[in-house]
Structure formats: structure tokens, C-alpha cells
Amino acid sequence: MHSLLPLLLFLIVCLVLMAGYPVALSLAGTALLFAFIADLAGFFDITFLQALPSRLYGIMTNTTLIAVPLFVFMGIMLERSRVAENLLDTMAELFGRLRGGLGYSVALVGMLLAASTGIVGATVVTMGLLSLPTMLRRGYDPRIATGVICASGTLGQIIPPSIVLVLLGDVLSSAYQQAQLDMGIFSPETISVGDLFTGALLPGILLVMLYLAYLAVVAWLRPAAMPPIDYKSNRDTSLAMRVVRGLLPPVALIFAVLGSILTGKATPTEAAAVGAAGAIILAALRGQCRLAILREVMAGTTRVTSMVFLILIGASVFSLVFRGLGGDDVVADLLNDLPGGKIGAMLAVMLLMFLLGFVLDFIEITFVVVPIVGPVLLAMGFDPVWLGIMIALNLQTSFLTPPFGFALFYLRGVAPASIRTGDIYRGVIPFIALQLLLILILALWPSLATWLPGVVYG
């Protein structure tokens, strides 16, 4: 009975979260209720909770997590300054004359927005509002249009600077050190958010290339589904000048953020500050840095950051109680006893995260599930950078998968009434297959994620 308590705690927390109660309060409240009941029954030592103040102090003094509000600020500022709208217009005019050109534009803009904002919901909604009506007016198949918008919008999960990778990097760093201590290594190695950023670059670029290859094949086989567009521009400036003006500022910001990390000039937190300052400069150059906009951006940043850190505090309470109930040993025994050894354990964890991704946000999964299963998987010998990229890709895939994928709900909320939900579901299926293909490729060739960090950081 005692060994079932941690699993029962995890199950009840998931049920409470699916019922729609606030995440942070659900995590902390359910865990504390279990702790008091288990203490009365003699299954839990209430003195475990004395470690809670030091955990909360560790959260408050964690310099890595400072990157979260800075990247959030950068993303919201770029959204408010209409950089995304300008990018879509420019790319559509550049590629629209090609068969399937609007699809290529959406995929490439999704990549650039992912690398400059890292906020999935905002990217899907923005591209849904700006590009979906245009694609439908120009004769694009609704399934192709909705599929590429949803898939491109979720690139913010994997392409750095991704908030998912920032949070995963912090959690996996702790899990990696714990795994090494459990193995008797008392001078443990560490990984950083920069390692995950660097490791995600090649898989992220490969995923975009797979998207573009699929769109090219569809445009070739079904030309009526992705017709070319004849642009007749009356603008004074040339197309080349408009492309430079539309692409150069966000690309320069991306290079400033990622380049400073890859060259070792700045930590991810410092690079996030560069990104936030750069977003303000871009907004000012576009005349969008008025006091009212700054207030909106600050309010939005405060809301998102408060949510993230409150969930982190709730998750700390949950993990403390879970460990006090012996949950670490129970999970380790379960994963080690699965058929297939470490491969079977990895498949089971990935399947669990994929299913949880239907009903829980990536923040909850990162803070609740990864600290539980991470040390066990890392103790089995999996590379922490590879594991982090696999988890990020897995969560990105669950964001797209019908009927519960978050990206589908985001697009459904802004799509015209003429677009059926079934069109959105069918449209994303090929992109889900491409993401599963990338996960398989990464599973077979882990060096796709581990080679570049080794080159950059030695």
C-alpha cells in the first residue's frame, strides 16, 4: 500500500489539473493534503517539508530563470511592434509567385518567429489572423493552409531561444546532478540552457526543411491546392529593399541573441537581456514603442512570468512530497523492470509525456514529470542534451495531435467559420508524421543533437 501512494498522488494531481483547477494551487494543495494524511497514517515524515524554504530560496536566486521574463518580454514586444505582420507580408511577396509560395512563406516566418519570440500560442494566433484569410482567398486548400500554420506555429517549442528549452535546461541540470550523485559521482558534470539551445539548432532546422520538402511535393503533385500568386505592387520601393527592411531587423536580433550564446560571449540569461533590449529598439524604429504599448508589454510579461514561477513553486512542493513518499524508488523500480531495458523505459516515458501533452501544458509537464523520470533515465546512461531535445520534440508533437492539441485550439479560435475543425485535424496529420520521422531520426542518430554542443563547448 505504501508503495502505491506516490503513484496515487500523481494520478490525483493529473485528475485535478484536467478538471480545470489552477495548476500551481492544484500541485501544492494536493501534495500537502497527501502529506498530512500520510503523516497521520505513519507513511510520511512531516519534517520533509522543512526543506521547502531552502527550495523556494533556490528558485528565487536561480540566475538561469531570469531568462524567462526577458525572453517573454522580447516575444511580446515583437508581437506588439507588428514585426510578424511585416515579415509575413515581405515573405509572401518574395515567394508568392512560386507554386506553393505562400506555404513556404508561412513555414519560414514560423521559423523566424520561433527564433525571435519562442511563444507558441502567440505565433499560431498571429499567423492564423494574418495569413489564413489570404491563403484561403488565393485558392489554397484549407487543410494545407491550416496544417502549415499550426505546424509552423509550434516551432517555438524546439527552435531556440525557446522558453521550453530554458525551463527544460534548468530542470534537467538538477536531474543530471541528482542522477550522478545517486551513482556515487560526487563531482558531477553539469549541463546548461546553452547546451540545449545549441543542441536544438540542427534538429530544428532539419524539421523546417522537412516541412518545406513536404510542401514542395504537394505543390508539384496537387498544383491546384497551392496556386502561385501574381503580385502587382504599386509601392515606390523595390522588392529587394522591402525584403531587406522586413527581414534584416529580426534576423539581426536572432543572430545577436543566438550568436552571443554560441560564441560564448554571453550566457543565455545575458543573451535574453540583449534580446529584450533589441526588441525595444526594433519597436522604436517602427514607431511602436509608445508608453501605452510598453505598459501592455510589461503587463503581459508580468502575467506570464508570474504564472511560470507560481507553477514552479507548486511543483517544488509536489516533488518534495513525492520524494518523501518514496516516489523516486517506485519510479526507478517501474522503469527498470519494464521489458526492453533502457529503450523500453525511454519509450514508456515518451508515450506518457505525449499523452499528458493533450491535457497539460508544457510548463506543468516540465516541472512535474521531468524531475520524476529525468534522474532515472539519465542514470541509465542517456545523454542529457539528447534527452532534452527528444522531450521538446515530443511535447511539440503532442501540441499538434488531434483531438486535444493546443495549437489546434489556438487556430480554431481565430479561423473563419468556413473552416471546419475536421479540416484542421486532417491538415496537421502529415506534419505530425514528419515530426515523428524526426524523432525517429534523432533516436537513431543522437549525434544530431549532441555534436554541435560538443564542438561549441568542447
The pLDDT tens digits of the residues spanning 233-249 come to 555 567 677 777 777 88
CA 299-303-308 angle, to 5 degrees, is: 145
User: What is the structure's pLDDT at 286?
Assistant: 77
Q: What is the pLDDT of residue 387?
A: 92
- Yes or no: say if 188 and 181 are a contact pair by the CB < 8 Å rule: yes
DSSP 97-149: TSTTHHHHHHHHHHHHHHHHT--HHHHHHHHHHHTHHHHHHTT--HHHHHHHH
Q: What is the pLDDT of residue 78?
A: 78
Judged by phi (left if over 0) then psi (alpha if -120 to 50, else beta), residue 139 lies in left
Between CA 316 and CA 327 the distance in angstroms is: 14
Per-residue pLDDT, 216: 92
Residue 97 sits at φ, ψ, to 5 deg, of: -70, -15
Report pLDDT for 418.
83
Q: What is the pLDDT of residue 116?
A: 64
Say if residues 48 and 324 touch (Cβ distance below 8 Å). yes
Residues 6+ apart with CB under 8 A from 239: 93, 94, 233
Q: What are phi and psi of 119, to 5 degrees?
A: -110, 110
Q: Which amino acid is at 190?
A: T
Q: What was the pLDDT predicted at 202?
A: 92
Per-residue model confidence (pLDDT) at position 121: 66
Closest to 273 measured CA to CA, from 250, 253, 251: 253
Amino acid sitting at position 141: D
State the cell numbers at 300: 503581459
- Residue 162 three-state SS: coil
The answer to whether the beta carbons of residues 193 and 170 sit under 8 Å apart is yes
Distance CA 293, CA 280 (A): 11
Sign of CA dihedral 66, 391, 395, 124: positive
Q: Output the nine-digit C-alpha cell for 53.
A: 524554504
Domain segments of the chain as ranges: 65-228+237-295+352-457
DSSP state of 44: -
Cis peptide, bond prior to residue 339, ω within 30 of zero: no
* Per-residue pLDDT, 232: 60
CB count within 10 Å of CB 121 equals: 17
Cell 503523516, residue? 39
Provide CB contacts within 8 A for 352, sequence distance 6+.
369, 373
| CA gap 108, 113 in Å, rounded | 9
pLDDT at 69: 87
Distance CA 328, CA 393 (A): 25
Per-residue pLDDT at 118: 59
Sign of CA dihedral 282, 283, 289, 292: negative
- Amino acid found at 286: R
Q: Which portions of the chain are predicted below pLDDT 70?
A: 1-2, 84, 96, 115-122, 230-237, 239, 359, 404, 458
| Cα-based distances in Å from 360 to 15, 161, 328, 392, 425 | 11, 22, 22, 14, 19
Q: Is residue 405 within 8 Å of residue 202, measured between CB atoms? A: no
